[in-house]
Amino acid sequence: EVQLAESGGGLVKPGESLRLSCVGSGFTFSHAWMSWVRQAPGKGLEWVGRIKSTTDGGTTDYAAPVKGRITISRDDSKNTLYLQMSSLKTEDTAVYYCSTGSRRSGTMSPPFDYWGQGTLVTVSS
Amino acid sequence: EIVLTQSPGTLSLSPGERATLSCRASQSVSSSSLAWYQQKPGQTPRLLIYGASSRATGIPDRFSGSGSGTDFTLTISRLEPEDFAVYYCQQFGSSPLTFGGGTKVEIK
């Protein structure tokens, strides 16, 4: 059974930094493209960024609102995905999910078959 | 960036009725890279449809997806009580990946 477990959320002040972690199990983590998705309270889903599998280059892509303030990385030896966030703003307040999926024919990027339970980040003074 | 616009924002229907949800893209999306998700209050999103029309594992056949190019549709043939939720479309083929704003299907 695929499991994703996020941790590291909490209450921080504007301008501070925070690192989230996501541990995966039940699948070959090193082969997986991993994404972070966030959801502000009462709002919709917003893709934050992703990291490709190491075998596919391990490159990262980020959404415009967070580009330059976040870094996504992975440690395949620990089956762990990271989201390092800096210069946090009140509008970064959200539940942060890690997600992954199985590649289907016709596309390199997978849809999001699997989601963690999320970790809440609250940015407030 | 590909912007996905979902309509209507809210759909009020009764159990047993048919629901038709629309997702329109600002530029052409490969059908292989279009997905639909369901999210119930307090729960994580669940993948329903990928590749515009393929049902994910365990998804009932009352859910179907269609469309191509810039216009995609999710249809729920007969609403069950557990289908009242928020539905999101997503394109995952072009970076940045994007989600639509969601359609809430509520009980009339």
Residues A72-94 pLDDT 10s: 999 999 999 999 999 999 999 99
Q: Which residues of chain B neighbour A46 with C-beta distances below 8 Å?
A: 99
Interchain contact B59–A (C-beta under 8 A): no
Angstrom distance (rounded) from CA B108 to CA A60: 44
Distances (CA, A) of A82 to A60, A75, B92: 12, 8, 21
pLDDT digits (tens, 9 = 90+) for B1-45: 999 999 999 999 999 999 999 999 999 999 999 999 999 999 999
DSSP structure string for A75-105: EGGGTEEEEEE-S--GGG-EEEEEEE----T
Do the bridges between strand B4-7 and strand B19-29 make them parallel or antiparallel, or are there none, so unpaired?
A: antiparallel
Non-local CB neighbours of A99 within 8 Å, separated by 6+ positions:
A4, A34, A35, A36, A37, A112, A114, A115, A116
Distance in Å, alpha carbon of A14 to nearest chain B alpha carbon? 25
pLDDT digits (tens, 9 = 90+) for A54-72: 999 999 999 999 999 999 9
Which residue of chain B comes nearest to A63, CA vs CA? B96
The amino acid sitting at A98 is C
Q: What number of other Cβ atoms are within 10 A of residue B28's Cβ?
A: 11
pLDDT for residue A53 is more than 90: yes
Which residue of chain B comes nearest to A60, CA vs CA? B95
Distances (CA, A) of B14 to B10, B20, B84: 13, 13, 10
